[in-house]
Amino acid sequence: MNGRATRIDLFSLATIQMRVFHLSWLAFFVCFFAWFAVAPLMPVIRGDLHLSKDEIANISIAAVCATIFVRLLVGPLCDRYGARLTYTWLLSLGAIPVFAIGLAHSYHSFLFLRLCIGAVGAAFVITQYHTSTMFAANVVGTANAATAGWGNAGGGVTQAVMPWILAAIVSLGLNEALGWRVAMIVPATLMLVVAILYYRYAEDTPQGNLQAVGRASPGADQERKGALQSFFAAARDYRVWMLFVTYGASFGIELTIHNLAALYYVDRFALDVKTAGLYAGSFGLLALFARACGGILSDRIAHRHGLDGRTALLFSLILLEGLGLMLFSHMSTAGTALIAMLGFGLFTHLACGATYSLTPFINRRALGGVSGIIGAGGNVGAVVAGFLMKSANSLREGLFLLGACVTVSAFCAVAVRFSSAHKNAERAAYADALAARELADGVAMKSVLQ
């Protein structure tokens, strides 16, 4: 298992695996926080920059567009240079447009910087890659889902917190037009702090950093490919593209709701900015537990039903997500809309976790390429959703159509099939991981008794 951990010791930082676990979700959290920091402030920014409905739609699309290409890039870069350096550079360079967007004074400059900020969304791929290299088959789904879910919670926290940061700045005597610009210093600074922590305390593999252990040294992951090899090996596998679609139907919808929820509650139900931010933030905060639960469910079902059980779970979750989204679009009061949003949001986050519980088992030899392509699918889904919302007659109609598309896309999950040899190999790996865990527990118990 190349030193992969067979359990998650949540309150420990003693091992490389658990330091990576906590640093990876923290890094993704601050990236997500920064990525959507302007979203709850859009009612204020709209007035300051005199933005039209179409311009706001274009900004929402730009926010997720650049991430597609950067996600395709960073997965293979992790294969080539390691997750530690890739994450450090993404955090450091990504902080620049987050700082700079506060200097935007026109639609075009704001649009360009919003496009650049979207690159930090590629943090997700690095997080999933890094935890996939650190944890064994029996817990990798849980580890991937937990780190991604807690990172995604940054999207909920930013919806709730940024309006209050703006309010605090305004209380110091600044007007709102200047206040939202100053507020953007907070997420940018957090990114730089976490970049330093990641560089200092994370390591590429359970044996150490790639530069120290060497690619061909005993115990290192000798199956890594070069960046281009990794990408093309992943791109040739149809199952990668099926999960590309399912992730677009789950994470893509999550991104769309993050972008539109605050405006939706303000415009449709006449809520104030702070209340709308709290409503919208509750959707993102589901990621604190729901995405992890998707991974845990997938791992538990895999214990009995193997890889086929993981795909069946994913199908069910996306189907329920789509039906719930259509229901949400027909709610007529803010209270019922909130309840419906939390309902379909729960299945959305569960489906995200279930998708990346399958990802490590598609092609271990091209893990970076697989993670990058599937991760990019989430943003492609968000871009498609953005154009659909822009062309719809109303947000309500657009949300209903999105729900219908998600429902149909669920069938891509059941199209993901594995050969008997592949399933047997993964079942054996799962059994080996459980045996290694029981052995470690036995050794630990024996040392305690002695």
Per-residue model confidence (pLDDT) at position 447 = 64
Per-residue model confidence (pLDDT) at position 446 = 64
Rounded CA separation 337/331 (Å): 5
Rounded CA separation 89/77 (Å): 11
Can you give the C-alpha Rg of the chain in angstroms? 21
Per-residue model confidence (pLDDT) at position 223 = 45
- Contact (CB, 8 A) for 375 and 71: yes
Rounded CA separation 115/386 (Å): 14
Per-residue model confidence (pLDDT) at position 217 = 40
Q: Which two tokens stand for residue 403?
A: 């729900």
Per-residue model confidence (pLDDT) at position 219 = 40
For the chain, residues with pLDDT lower than 50 are 216-224
The architecture CATH gives domain 16-210+224-441 = Up-down Bundle (1.20)
Per-residue model confidence (pLDDT) at position 444 = 63
CA distance between the termini of the chain? 29
Q: Cβ neighbours of residue 38 under 8 Å, at least 6 residues apart? A: 45, 101, 114, 117, 162, 180, 184
- Sorted by where each begins, the domain ranges of the chain are 16-210+224-441
